[in-house]
Structure 1
């Protein structure tokens, strides 16, 4: 009898250990998450709300909240544990980990959960009445460009300014020519363009962008393409990649537009419990068709590719999830 109970106890221990090892697959039944992204009405707001929705669908009773954010600030908030999830460009997170400007010190405790979209491409939008088809045109004419870039210290802002620098133009040059450079969200900047108050706007966005399509219905626009040398310089500095906006993307384009691109990811703090990271990704997988229809930027998303978050390392819970869900 004593031997029987010993064997029974051993079996119980084995099942207990097996159950513990499988815990991340079951995941927490209720999650409490805040998600920070971008301004209301933009792609990141829609995606952030969508992440919350799939979590609530898979784990009823979960509490999720979307927080309006700014990209560089999002990294700091998630790093300090104030917010659990954030949306940002992978390349900016790598810059933060390396302690590059605009970051005053290294932020190296951020980890990726998954790719949201790869096709975030630099758009340097100008009004056609500038008569500029290239950055060289702006430079040779010393055009007094009134230009807005995306929110200050966001990756979109950094890319836009690096692009003009790589093409041999600085903000100081534009000031000297009688123009100016400022920062604003996309919606506000395009409204200023419609009102005739600015000539240009730079942003890193999906293709096609509904904002640009809409603006093109009332404004005569153009996109300035980058030279190969400028593409290489920006890629070397920021970790972006060379890309092309096809002329079919917007009805005002006459040619394909060479540019640079970046990857947008869902990220978290390295200290997020593994089972919660697993559960978030499971909720995305369980609701993948719905998730891909949250916003146009997600339409081409493939589940087999969302683990490719380089240069940002995956969270351990994400590593386990992708190992078990090929």
Structure 2
């Protein structure tokens, strides 16, 4: 994050207590893109109205709980988690039907990567051969692990199956997986991220990877049951992976709740999706810049119903009816 954004964050956290409306933003870590998004949006909204805004750190899974309980009024998550929270699906125990969408700002693509010398070319072949795969799927309770498990289950494979075949399933971060793959202790990893993802580039530079495609049936299941979208990871996204790979993607979405006024939700949406808003956010990362090329991108694939204020903004822009 730039020094200017950090300075702005400090001003926002200590902002005018006599403002007409107080909003708490729950974003990601202070060094990450989503926190910077929160700072940018807060600056714009405060300039256009009488708001006291606190930008706080959080996480994609927990932010939805905070927003659903009205302990925060705005934050980031993913389209898949937002839909799960709205419907009361795993990892959420209760429905949060008051969640509402504002915009989508990035896409994260699911990547199922194995070392090139692993003798399987698909998940169907993994099952047929009962290959003893040694794989890292991310920490338990995170979206990456949840999606990895669902993709495997859609192909008739459980974690217990992999263990029964002589393989391993590790619930570790990508940085830990990197070390274990380099050392020969693991041979596969899953990740849900923007493209290209630097840790994958790093692994691939040391040990050549291949990416397993998702079948049409798996993609359809992820779409219909869990709210992901079909995508194709372009050839040469990573060196040595020379063909496009079918997969699914989830959006990095900005969310509020139905208690937030229509006018405030309108201001939040405008701060993100106007030409000026998209230009400001595009300076934060290449992933945001490449995705937010149009206002249409802002309104697509959010996963949950739009807030009425966001709906009004997109309607005025001719995006939704």
TM above 0.5, yes or no, is yes
- Establish whether residue 116 from structure 1 lines up as the match of residue 108 from structure 2: no
Residues 224-235 of structure 1 correspond to what in structure 2 (within 5 A)? Answer: 224-235=212-223
* Match of residue 286, structure 2, among 288, 293, 296: 296
Q: Deviating runs (4+, > 6 A) in structure 1? A: none
- Establish whether residue 194 from structure 1 lines up as the match of residue 185 from structure 2: no
* Match of residue 300, structure 2, among 305, 308, 322: 308
3-state DSSP of counterpart to 1:306: helix
Find the counterpart in structure 1 of residue 26 from structure 2. Answer: 35
- Establish whether residue 101 from structure 1 lines up as the match of residue 90 from structure 2: yes
In the comparison of the two structures, how many residue pairs are matched? 293
Q: TM-score if structure 2 supplies the norm length? A: 0.80
Given that 1:74 and 1:87 are in contact with CA atoms closer than 8 Å, whether structure 2 keeps it comes out as yes
- Establish whether residue 90 from structure 1 lines up as the match of residue 75 from structure 2: no
* Match of residue 254, structure 1, among 233, 242, 247: 242
Given that 1:116 and 1:298 are in contact with CA atoms closer than 8 Å, whether structure 2 keeps it comes out as yes
Find the counterpart in structure 2 of residue 51 from structure 1. Answer: 38
Find the counterpart in structure 2 of residue 287 from structure 1. Answer: 277
Range with bigger deviation, 172-181 or 229-238: 229-238
Given that 2:105 and 2:298 are in contact with CA atoms closer than 8 Å, whether structure 1 keeps it comes out as yes
Q: How far apart are 1:29 and its partner, in Å? A: 8.3
Given that 1:55 and 1:62 are in contact with CA atoms closer than 8 Å, whether structure 2 keeps it comes out as no
Residues 129-168 of structure 1 correspond to what in structure 2 (within 5 A)? Answer: 129-168=117-156
Gaps of 5+ in 1: 1-27
Q: How far apart are 1:58 and its partner, in Å? A: 5.7
Residues 309-324 of structure 1 correspond to what in structure 2 (within 5 A)? Answer: 309-324=301-316
Q: How far apart are 1:186 and its partner, in Å? A: 3.2
- d(CA) in 2 for partners of 1:170, 1:133: 18
Given that 2:38 and 2:55 are in contact with CA atoms closer than 8 Å, whether structure 1 keeps it comes out as no
- d(CA) in 2 for partners of 1:187, 1:217: 14
Provide the alpha-carbon RMSD of the alignment.
2.7
- d(CA) in 2 for partners of 1:304, 1:230: 27
Q: How far apart are 1:57 and its partner, in Å? A: 5.3
- d(CA) in 1 for partners of 2:198, 2:66: 29
Q: How far apart are 1:121 and its partner, in Å? A: 1.9
3-state DSSP of counterpart to 1:299: helix
Range with bigger deviation, 196-205 or 179-188: 179-188
- d(CA) in 2 for partners of 1:100, 1:310: 17
3-state DSSP of counterpart to 1:139: helix
Find the counterpart in structure 2 of residue 3 from structure 1. Answer: none
Given that 2:228 and 2:249 are in contact with CA atoms closer than 8 Å, whether structure 1 keeps it comes out as yes
Give CA-to-partner distance per residue, 1:168-221, whole Å, 9 cap, x none.
321011111222223334344334433433222212222322332233222211
Given that 1:49 and 1:65 are in contact with CA atoms closer than 8 Å, whether structure 2 keeps it comes out as no
3-state DSSP of counterpart to 1:96: helix
Find the counterpart in structure 2 of residue 18 from structure 1. Answer: none
3-state DSSP of counterpart to 1:111: strand
Given that 1:147 and 1:200 are in contact with CA atoms closer than 8 Å, whether structure 2 keeps it comes out as yes
- d(CA) in 1 for partners of 2:37, 2:56: 9
Given that 2:219 and 2:247 are in contact with CA atoms closer than 8 Å, whether structure 1 keeps it comes out as yes
Given that 1:31 and 1:276 are in contact with CA atoms closer than 8 Å, whether structure 2 keeps it comes out as no
Q: How far apart are 1:247 and its partner, in Å? A: 1.4
